[in-house]
Amino acid sequence: MQVDILIINGQCINPVDANIYNWIAIKKDKIVAIGTGNEYSQFADSCNEIIDAKGSTVLPGFYDSHSHLVQTAINHVSLNLSKATSFSDIGDLMVEHIDKNPGKPIRAIGLDEQNLKEKRLPNRYVLDKFCDSAPVWVNKYEYHTSILNTYALLHYKIPFSVAGIELSENKMPTGVFRHFANALLRENILNDMSNDFRWEALKELMPSLINCGITTTASMEGGFMFCDKDADFIHEYYKALPIDLVLFYQTTDVKKVKNMSLNRIGGSLFIDGSFGSRSAALHSNYSDDSENKGMLYYSQEDLNFFLLECYKNGLQTALHVVGERAIDLALNAHEYAFKKTGNNTLRHRLEHVELPTASHLSRSKALNLIYSMQPAYESYWGGPDKMYYKRLGERYKLTNPFCEIIEKGITVCGGSDSDVTPANPIIGIHSAVNHPVEEHRTTIMDAIKMFTINSAYAMFEEDTKGSLEVGKLADVVILSDDILTIPANHIKDITVKTTIKSGNILFNIITQRDGENNASSIDKYVGTYNYRIQD
């Protein structure tokens, strides 16, 4: 048999059974043979792409089970002000950005006035000094405050009477937008963005996903704090991308997603908020706010009604639940809908599930629910000295108990929640294995499963993806090291050397030839790529 690609000398791990092979043969878009020792030699003569993995780990292509791709893409091409330490820094960065993007509207992100020597936000007069010939929109790092220059203020036309518009002494807008005014402004600007702009941004983002080994990503788009146009955009453009995108539409409009022929609904469909903003719904008060135990965005009755509709319409659901009370609410609603329909085959997902109790785990298992979790949160905020401890006190020891959940038999799929944490599954795997609370840590194999086969299962794709087996799609990554023997605290240092999606080599620094660069090899597949697994 003639094959197209041969990967040799690898530690090729099949996460389904933990078997290890040494080589993989790929023909067209599929894995056609896999084995140990030198058996591959039968294919070698006629194969013109032999990749020597040199003892490194070879895995199925990575999944990111929960990302906000449009937001990530737009941020990727935005001006990043997170390093600015003064107004004049902002000006320098802005001028540099304008040189590269002349005449284009400027969207800046990441501003934190605590880092500025002025210790206050700039106003429109400050921004006008750096740019008065195009709209400038500066976002604070948490997106809840915006600043516009005068050009943008006139361009985006928000009525000055809206609550949250800061006014000067003589009742003129300063350019600073907060609260409701900020939400309205966001919606206006995001709706004003053309799909061409989104497309260009997404194309620019693609290499960074592919270089991290991502071959499929779930994109949670639309709805509250986001923009429905993002979801419609992904639905229209996903086939033209070199990797697979699975759209989750963050809406409760069952009819709309049915009309789009989607068989899933939700994503970051907020049942509660987050620990960071003290809006995750806890059983007892926040440690740093003794009057507050967070909030629920749904009544039990409304959530019961919504989930029953989804069960009846055969829709897989994904609900954002962080605190115990939100998990309670979601489980009650699932139990209600299951009792009414008897259907537990839709692979419903709970997103984040950061503070589950033992009883939540038993109830979730009985309902066949999948937990879609973001291990990297623990690297950023977990442990005794970070944000979770500030908000939750000793309860920081209870967050994201991966090991207990897996032992209970619940399928856990892994995601980044990009742009909240970087879209890099290696960081996710590292974080699951190195959870700051020892008893919650997973084995390396369980962490790999989260970002491969379990994620495939959570998207009904386990028959074609998520493992290294003959007949499956040739979605394969080659790593820089042997992930099974590298010290656990160094997993994060592993890089991806090669990414293959459906037999197309999208990224490869092992056998790169002179004059060939990776950007051009990705370009080759953007816009021409027609493979799609399911809607």
Is residue 475 near Zn ion by the rule CB under 5 A?
no
Query: What is the nearest approach in angstroms of Zn ion to the Cβ of residue 220?
Result: 5
Nearer to Zn ion, 22 or 65 (CB): 65
Nearer to Zn ion, 5 or 269 (CB): 269
C-alpha distances in Å from residue 272, one per residue of 10, 218, 282, 462:
44, 21, 9, 30
Contacts of 370 (CB under 8 A, 6+ apart): 347, 348, 349, 350, 410, 411, 412, 413, 454, 457, 458
CB-wise, 268 or 364, nearer to Zn ion? Answer: 268
The token duo for 521 is 């090899």
Cβ 273 to Zn ion shortest distance, Å:
12
Nearer to Zn ion, 315 or 373 (CB): 373
Question: Least separation, in Å, of the C-beta of 502 and Zn ion?
Answer: 27
Token duo for residue 181: 């005014």
- How far CA 293 is from CA of 108, 324, 356, in Å, comes to 33, 10, 16
Q: Which residue's C-beta sits nearest to Zn ion? A: 268
Smallest gap from residue 410 Cβ to Zn ion (A):
20
Residue 126 or 231 having the CB closest to Zn ion: 231
- DSSP letters, 282-294, are -SS-BTTBTT---
Rounded least distance, CB 65 to Zn ion, Å: 11
Least Cβ distance, residue 320 to Zn ion (angstroms)? 7
Residue whose CB is less far from Zn ion, 268 or 480: 268
Neighbouring CB atoms inside 10 A of 320's CB total 26
Q: Using CB atoms within 10 A of its CB, is residue 61 exposed (0-12), middle (13-18) or buried (19+)?
A: buried
Smallest separation, CB 418 to Zn ion (Å): 9
For residues 279 and 326, give the distance between their C-alpha atoms in angstroms, rounded to a whole number.
11
Q: Tokens standing for 153?
A: 């203020």
Residue 464 is encoded by which pair of tokens? 């074609």
Which amino acid is it at 457?
Y
Nearer to Zn ion, 141 or 531 (CB): 141
CB of 268 to Zn ion, least distance (A): 4
Contact (Cβ atoms closer than 8 angstroms) between residue 200 and residue 50 = no
Among 11, 182, 215, 268, binds Zn ion (CB under 5 A): 268
Q: Closest CB to Zn ion among 35 and 422? A: 422
Residue given tokens 């008060």 in the structure block: 285
Residues between 408 and 427 with contacts to Zn ion, criterion CB under 5 A: 417
Q: Which long-range contacts (CB under 8 A, 24 or more apart) does 495-499 make?
A: 495/426, 496/211, 496/212, 496/213, 496/426, 497/53, 497/56, 498/51, 499/61, 499/210, 499/211, 499/213, 499/214, 499/215
d(CA 64, CA 72): 13
Q: In what order do the strands lie in the sheet with 244-249?
A: 62-67, 214-221, 244-249
In the bound state with Zn ion, the residue whose beta carbon lies nearer, of 139 and 268, is 268
Q: At residue 362, what is the residue type? A: S
Q: How far apart are CA 513 and CA 510, in angstroms?
A: 9
C-beta of 279: minimal distance to Zn ion in Å? 14
- Looking at 120-128, 185-193, 267-275, 403-411, which segment touches Zn ion (CB under 5 A)? 267-275
One character per residue 484-503, x = contact with Zn ion (rule: CB under 5 A): --------------------
- Among residues 305 and 380, whose Cβ is nearest to Zn ion? 380
Q: How far apart are CA 299 and CA 303, in angstroms?
A: 6
CB of 322 to Zn ion, least distance (A): 11
- Nearer to Zn ion (CB atom), residue 105 or residue 425: 425
- Residue placing its CB nearer to Zn ion in the complex, 373 or 479: 373
Q: Nearer to Zn ion by C-beta: 455 or 508?
A: 455
How many C-alpha atoms does 440 have within 13 Å on its Cβ side?
Answer: 21
On the CB side of 386, CA atoms within 13 Å amount to 15
Question: Least Å distance between CB 260 and Zn ion?
Answer: 20
Question: Which x/- pattern over 27-46 shows residues binding Zn ion (rule: CB under 5 A)?
Answer: --------------------
| Shortest Å distance, C-beta 96 to Zn ion | 31
| Min separation Cβ 374 and Zn ion, Å | 8
Tokens of 397: 């020891």
What contacts 9, CB < 8 A, 6 or more positions away?
22, 23, 52, 53, 54, 55
Of the ranges 260-268, 277-285, 358-366, 515-523, which one interacts with Zn ion (CB under 5 A)?
A: 260-268
Sign of CA dihedral 507, 510, 511, 515: positive
Residues in the interface with Zn ion (CB under 5 A) total 2
Q: Pull the structure tokens for residue 64.
A: 């990111």
The residue among 43 and 377 lying less far from Zn ion, judged by its C-beta, is 377
46's tokens: 């006629």
Q: Provide the minimum distance between the beta carbon of 15 and Zn ion in the complex, in angstroms, as a whole number.
A: 24
Interface ranges with Zn ion (CB under 5 A): 268, 417
